[in-house]
Chains A and B, each alone.
Chain A
Amino acid sequence: MIEPLLKAEHLFKSFHKNDTKLEILKDVSMEINRNESICIMGSSGAGKSTLLQILGTLDTADQGELKFEGQSLQNLNDEELSLFRAEKLGFIFQFHHLLNEFNVLENVLMPFWIRGLDPDITYAKALLEQVGLSNRIDHFPTQLSGGECQRVALARALVKKPALILADEPTGNLDSQNGSLIQQLLFDLQKESSAALVVVTHDENMARRFSKKMKLVDGHWAR
């Protein structure tokens, strides 16, 4: 039997606000397989982003287990977790979160630099060409439009050829034209890299393109 790429089992997550316990995730389980594209939908506050962050080890669950290729991620230390994120995951956020102090190419190469690796400049430039920004590599994020920044963020997420791409409303801050472009690029690049893709979105049109659609309602999967 083939192990799923990422398996989340019985995840619980709550926050405390003014002495009130807000339960965000209540016994959420899911499996993500290789090459699979999953869309997570749900209303605001349903726990979509929290789930995505837990799947990406950017946050921790109160309870439950997370396994990557059958290996538990629960007891990994900071060093091991950061290595896991660096080697296996690629993140795209609703806001591009590019580093304004670095130019386009440097932003894309940052995942290599962070780990002290020799950067694959050829691949980085190829990705930037694919997202239509090969002529902007020396530009800084402040010189680009929101759509262009998100395209750079897309290239940055994919530059290390991750096994799993996690995107939190990647088109949420963009107009429809740029949103469609990002969508197209995201699917094209995912197909090329054979990575699994998990996207949190409100966009019904976008959701139709995924192989699996899941909906969170009040911290549970909708039945």
Chain B
Amino acid sequence: MKIEWLLMRRFFWNKEALSTRSTLFALLGLSLGVAVLYVALSVLSGFEKTLKNSLIDVGGHLKLVKRSGHQEPWQELFAQVQALDQKVLFGTPFLTLEGVTATQGVVQGILIQGLDEKTYSKVLKIEDRLVQGTLDLTKKDRLFGAVIGTELASRIGKTVGDNITLVVPRFGELETTGYRRSMGQFQIRGILDMGKYDWNERLVVIELSEAQRLAEVKNRYAGLMLKISDADAAENMAVELITKLGPPHWVRDWKSEHENTFAAVQIERRIIFFVVFIIIIVAAFSLVSNLLLQSMQKISELSVLKSFGMRSRQVIRLFFIQGLALGLAGVSLGLILGWLISVGLTFYQARFGLIAGSVYQISNIDLSVRAWDLLAIIISTLLISVLSGAIPALRAARLLPSEGLKND
């Protein structure tokens, strides 16, 4: 094998050989294919990762709920859940309410999330998503704190320090078809980028006790948000907990609310891989023609080497190795190029907002490539590069030494 590597290096990777345009174009084609594949998969993985992080950071791994809500102390419920499964690490009670906020004649539908200030940070990671202000929900200067999404802040034209009025519709006691309102004024203490557009547009986080007051449910809460040891095991754990707890309890994992989106991303990933891989296959044809050209250029050298005892399989190996070397160069260049494009895209979207959040759910993708995707790009490109050496290799190997010597 050593001599094949040496011949490959000296024959095909010298200044003269590399200055031929066919080699450069073949490499460029392959690199571009790899770069496009890298970027496409980065976008998809980034979308998936961004959405996943957003769902977990703001909603926890699991949500244990009951239609009528819970009345027992949440610690008791959590202890019961933890006794059923040791993988449940932390829990925090929550209450979600539909409501509205009105400012200067603009009425905005909102989703009020009541959280227990003492425990939510063990389950949720919203502190990382703070864009402005603090996460202080406590009462100060007669007003409790509220944290709102970036989009909502922009729509109602409010910022940290401003007051916001939250209104929750309640069934009327005298007239069952009508509503009465329950309202409260809060001071905006922080602005969050929750990752998901509809949350940024609607979510308002307040203290659980204040949400209970607005909903007039006393100590009742909707359920628990749970943190478990492995986010990817959430789906199975949800099924296990439902089975163990039984009705009327219900457990939803972070993925279930966007199951279709995640399933679509998986399908798109495969489709995009194969579609973009066609570019690499096309580039491989130019590799084949380049290798054929190189085999023709070196035919007399190979004939001489055969006359001194070089085996046909060594000739075959030489071209396979050259295909592999071109593949390695193409993959390396392509990955660097793909990474640079990704960095550029990240910069560009941070500055100019490339993605319409109202359409794609998220407005900012944290571009990232999965190790498996990277491996798939590298292996498939190298495989096709090595295979592109097959035709020139077999052609050169089959040639009788006398045929190559006739050329001179």
Q: A residues touching B (Cβ–Cβ < 8 Å)?
A: 50, 53, 56, 58-60, 78-79, 82-83, 85-87, 89, 91, 93, 95, 97, 99, 101-102, 110-111, 113-116, 156
Contacts and interface: CB of A to CB of B under 8 A. Distances in A.
Interface stretch (B2-10, B181-189, B384-392): B2-10
A114 B402 contact: no
Contacts of B6: 113
Contacts of A97: 300-301, 303-304, 405, 408
Contacts of A56: 307
A101 B300 CA distance: 13
Interface in B329-386: none
A116 B303 CA distance: 18
A111 B307 CA distance: 9
Interface size class of B (residues with CB under 8 A): 20 to 34
A99 B305 CA distance: 9
A115 B311 CA distance: 9
Contacts of B304: 91, 93, 97, 99
B10 A58 contact: no
Indicate the member of B6, B301, B311 with the most A CB atoms within 10 Å: B311
Contact of A59 (B11, B313, B402): B402
30 contacts: A50-B402, A58-B303, A58-B401, A58-B402, A59-B400, A59-B402, A78-B312, A79-B311, A79-B313, A82-B306, A82-B311, A85-B307, A85-B309, A86-B308, A89-B307, A91-B304, A93-B405, A93-B408, A97-B301, A97-B303, A97-B304, A97-B405, A110-B305, A111-B308, A113-B2, A113-B6, A114-B3, A114-B310, A116-B2, A156-B308
B315 to A, nearest CB: 10
B310 A82 contact: yes
A99 B310 CA distance: 14
Contacts of B400: 58-60
A58 B307 contact: yes
Q: Which 5 A-B pairs have the closest CB atoms?
A: A86-B309, A101-B10, A59-B402, A58-B401, A111-B308
Contact of B3 (A83, A85, A113): A113
